Amino acid sequence: MDTRSPRSSGAQHDEQRPLAGAARLGPSNHITRRVHGRSRFIRRLALTLAILTVPGAAFAAVTIKGRTTGMPKLLNPVWNEAKDPKANRYTFREPSPTVRADVRTLVGHTPKELCVAALAEKGAPLKTPRTIVIAGGRTTPVTLVVAEGQQLQFENHDPFPHKLYDVGNKGLQPVEVAAAKTRAWTPPGPGKYEIRDQLAPSIRSWIVVEPRAVAIAYPDRQGNFTMELEAGKYTLQGYFNGEPVGKPLEVVAKPTPDEQFIKEAVVVGESGKPSAEAGK
């Protein structure tokens, strides 16, 4: 004998009965998703074709990883000036027999003095200024390679003023920059600009305006560097003391993968040959 009430039986029957609206809703949602999916695909395809048809459209940059060799042969001329007794700059103690000769050699500090530039047919200046920090009686970076028309901004991080100027009076007049202040300047054209300071003789830096420069990088102490490049052919050239050093290296950046390694090293110092500026 069935003791269930008609109400409970009807309720159970209602729970098992599919909703009419739900039956219609499922296929409709599936069709809607297919329509939206096709619309997104069409929009993406149209956007891709539009980018490809625009002349000079920029593609996503890839990360190029490489290395430099020959850094111990790069000698900064500032140290030669400093060790001259007539300059009255620093006191160099007698060499210690327990210190290796290679350690006593005052070589350049590659993370701020060696600039590796990627050269192409034509470079373009960045929309934002390149920053040059003045601190500790030196600048960071020491050698900078930029495209023509690139604006620079000197930032004084020292607690005392500086008075920068370019040797040869090519455009950077000696104007005092107070502590925590900045100074903007755009080099007037291609070439090498040597930057000195009337108030700090230890500052000697170089700005190279190279119309073909598209990207730069500064190697670490081991010589490793990375830079972002769009797909294409480039020439990697090291710059030290405002001059190209070593041998240029031809490389090709491919559209994929996102990270690419250069097998051949960028030679910046020939064996047994110090940089040309070392003795100046």
78 and 199 belong to one structural domain: yes
108 and 241 belong to one structural domain: yes
* Residue 86 domain flag: yes
Express each pLDDT in 15-71 by its tens digit. Answer: 445 444 444 445 555 555 554 556 666 666 665 555 444 444 445 899 999 999 999
How far is Cα 133 from Cα 139, in angstroms, rounded to an integer?
5
204 and 80 belong to one structural domain: yes
46 and 149 belong to one structural domain: no
* Residue 277 domain flag: no
229 and 170 belong to one structural domain: yes
118 and 157 belong to one structural domain: yes
* Residue 93 domain flag: yes
28 and 66 belong to one structural domain: no
Q: If you ran DSSP here, which 8-state letter would residue 56 be given? A: T
Does residue 165 or residue 92 have the better pLDDT?
165
Express each pLDDT in 117-149 by its tens digit. Answer: 999 999 999 999 999 999 998 999 999 999 999
167 and 28 belong to one structural domain: no
Q: Are 96 and 191 in contact (CB under 8 A)?
A: no
Nearest in space to 116 (alpha carbons), one of 196, 231, 232, 229: 229
44 and 66 belong to one structural domain: no
How far is Cα 32 from Cα 34, in angstroms, rounded to an integer?
5
Burial of 151: CB neighbours in 10 Å, binned 0-12, 13-18, 19+ = middle
24 lies in which domain range? 8-53
Peptide bond into 257 cis (omega under 30): yes
* Residue 182 domain flag: yes
Domain total in the chain: 2
Confidence of residue 215 (pLDDT cuts 50, 70, 90): very high
pTM: 0.75
73 and 121 belong to one structural domain: yes
45 and 91 belong to one structural domain: no
Q: Are 59 and 256 in contact (CB under 8 A)?
A: no
